Amino acid sequence: MFGIIRPCRHRLSEGMRAEWMAHLCGLCLTLRGDHGQFARIATNYDGLIISVLVEAQSPRSDGANSWRRTAGPCPLRGMRTASVAKGEGARLAASVSLVLASAKMRDHVADGDGMLARRPVAAAARKVAAKWDRAGARTGSDLGFDTSVLVEAVERQSGIEALAGLGTPLLEVTEPTETATAAAFGYTAVLAGRPENRAPLEEAGRLFGRLAHLLDAVEDLAEDAEAGAWNPIAATGTDLAEARRLCDDAAHGVRLALREVEFGSKGQGRLAHLLLVHELERAVDRAFGTSGCGHQAHHGTDGHQEHQGAFGPPPVMPPGAPPEPPRQGRRRGLLAGCAVWSALFCTCQICCSGEYNDPWDGEKREGWCHKCDCCDNCGDCGNCCDCCDCCGKCCEGCDCGCDC
């Protein structure tokens, strides 16, 4: 599972966690129902935001149940049934997820990552990517959404990267991602019947795409340097202080853009606000290895922005120093890793296990239900998992009422 929006279960109220899981399961089951079991590996945290936005803007004339259905037992839910998202929002999220996942796969093929350096494996990966492209386009067409906008934007990425060098503005490199996410976010307003929301949502999507691209680059910086892989921050000579400024500005811009969006009701817009405002700012802090409390790093006593801690390596980067003992798993390529990931996913190890071996690099990972970054650096503030933020400051100047 990938994506920059990864809310900790301790930060979500019971109602918000149920809503979030409904959209996550709805996306996964829509991928399976429309495109087969294998397509479920395209499920991602960021894709479900499309489903959240459509539902948040839509009128509920038939009640809350008009956007839900009861799904059958699933191993990831302990073989329990659950209420999951359905309808056009989940289908649009599935379409966008497939197209962008196919683009990511082609990018790995072009880079010759792992086993994809071998021609037979690369050929198989290209076939899967092409199939996902067609499937995403088919679903998008059913909804009136032209996925060629996403494909064209992603295809321009390689050309832009080839021309980028020292001194190239970093935002020139992120432009294709911004264009693709802006189109997806904006179309949620069309599906929900709120055309007046399209412009602010396109702006929010553009900035979200910028953040996704930049945070991915920050988290991969050390690994890319070690592997000799291309990284936009290193290639353009941008320092981390400037990258952080761009990320903070983008997160603030998303917050401002959402204020212009008319949701069906305050309650309907609460999850979208939580994910795209509070969790987005936490994602920035997490990528740069600064404060675990999303807003502590942004406001000093004098009101000016300050960052607690240096721009150190992201927490996911491997340690240096003495050599590690042999890993329990071997390093795998994209397809082999996906196959192992699927097995771990279907046996609940990724979700429910306290610890498991990463299917790609063999490193120890924590199960999703055991991950929590909400209590990092909270000090003695008490109630670190209460309400929206650990010190009760996350909603200063925020209209969510701190009941999200």
- 3-state SS of the chain? CECCCCCCCCCCCHHHHHHHHHHHHHHHHHHHHHHCHHHHHHCECCCHHHHHHHHHHCCCCCCHHHHEEEEEEEHHHCCEEEEEECCHHHHHHHHHHHHHHHHHHHHHHHHCCHHHHCHHHHHHHHHHHHHHHHHHHHHHHHHCCCCHHHHHHHHHHHHHHHHCCCCCCHHHHHHHHHHHHHHHHHHHHHHCCCHHHHHHHHHHHHHHHHHHHHHHHHHHHHHHHHHCCCCHHHHHCCCHHHHHHHHHHHHHHHHHHHCCCCCCCHHHHHHHHHHHHHHHHHHHHHHHCCCCCCCCCCCCCCCCCCCCCCCCCCCCCCCCCCCCCCCCCCCCCHHHHHHHHHHHHHCCHHHHCCCEECCCCCCEECCHHHCCCCCCCCCCCCCCCCCCCCCCCCCCCCCCCCCC
Query: What pLDDT, on a 0 to 100 scale, did the predictor assign at position 117?
Result: 78
> Pairing between strand 68-74 and 356-357?
unpaired
Average pLDDT of the residues in 5-20 = 84
Average pLDDT of the residues in 97-115 = 82
Are the C-beta atoms of residues 129 and 105 closer than 8 Å to each other? Answer: yes
Alpha carbon 284 to chain centroid distance?
12
Query: What pLDDT, on a 0 to 100 scale, did the predictor assign at position 82?
Result: 86
Query: What pLDDT, on a 0 to 100 scale, did the predictor assign at position 100?
Result: 87
Residue 192: both structure tokens together: 């929900």
pLDDT at 321 over 50: no
Radius of gyration, alpha carbons of the chain: 20
- 104 to 232, 249, 334: CA distances (angstroms): 16, 26, 11
Average pLDDT of the residues in 213-221 = 93
Q: How confident is the model at residue 91 (pLDDT cuts 50, 70, 90)?
A: very high
pLDDT tens digits, residue range 218-236?
Answer: 998 998 898 888 899 999 9
Q: How confident is the model at residue 330 (pLDDT cuts 50, 70, 90)?
A: low
Question: What is the overall mean pLDDT for the chain?
Answer: 79
Query: What pLDDT, on a 0 to 100 scale, did the predictor assign at position 260?
Result: 96
Residue 220 makes CB contacts below 8 A (sequence gap 6+) with 229, 231
Query: What pLDDT, on a 0 to 100 scale, did the predictor assign at position 315?
Result: 39
Residue 129: both structure tokens together: 């990517």
- In this structure, of 39-48, 153-162, 260-269, 364-373, the range with the lowest mean pLDDT score is 364-373
Count of residues making up the chain: 404
Average pLDDT of the residues in 14-37 = 90
Give the sign of the dihedral formed by CA 231, CA 168, CA 241, CA 100. negative
Residue 328 makes CB contacts below 8 A (sequence gap 6+) with 357, 362
pLDDT at 400 over 70: no
- 197 to 145, 177, 277: CA distances (angstroms): 16, 21, 17
Query: What pLDDT, on a 0 to 100 scale, did the predictor assign at position 64?
Result: 57
Residue 255: both structure tokens together: 């917050």
pLDDT at 61 over 80: no
Instruction: Identify which of 404, 344, 332 has the alpha carbon closest to the alpha carbon of residue 368.
Output: 344
Query: What pLDDT, on a 0 to 100 scale, did the predictor assign at position 360?
Result: 74
Give me the residues paired with residue 44 across strands.
2
pLDDT at 96 over 90: yes
pLDDT at 142 over 60: yes
Query: What pLDDT, on a 0 to 100 scale, did the predictor assign at position 153?
Result: 87
Query: What pLDDT, on a 0 to 100 scale, did the predictor assign at position 229?
Result: 84
Alpha carbon 118 to chain centroid distance?
29
Average pLDDT of the residues in 77-91 = 85
Query: What pLDDT, on a 0 to 100 scale, did the predictor assign at position 340?
Result: 76
Alpha carbon 187 to chain centroid distance?
18
Percent of the chain topping pLDDT 70: 75
Instruction: Identify which of 177, 106, 185 has the alpha carbon closest to the alpha carbon of residue 145.
Output: 185
CB-based burial, 154-171: b 16+ in 10 Å, e otherwise:
beebeeebeebeeebebe
Give me the residues paired with residue 84 across strands.
69
- In this structure, of 191-200, 221-230, 271-280, 388-397, the range with the lowest mean pLDDT score is 388-397
Q: Could you tell me if residue 387 is left (phi over 0), alpha (psi between -120 and 50 degrees) or otherwise beta?
A: left
Average pLDDT of the residues in 62-90 = 80
Percent of the chain topping pLDDT 90: 41
Half-sphere exposure at residue 123, Cβ-oriented, CA atoms within 13 angstroms: 3
pLDDT tens digits, residue range 256-299?
Answer: 999 999 998 888 999 999 999 999 999 999 999 875 544 344 44
Q: How confident is the model at residue 1 (pLDDT cuts 50, 70, 90)?
A: low
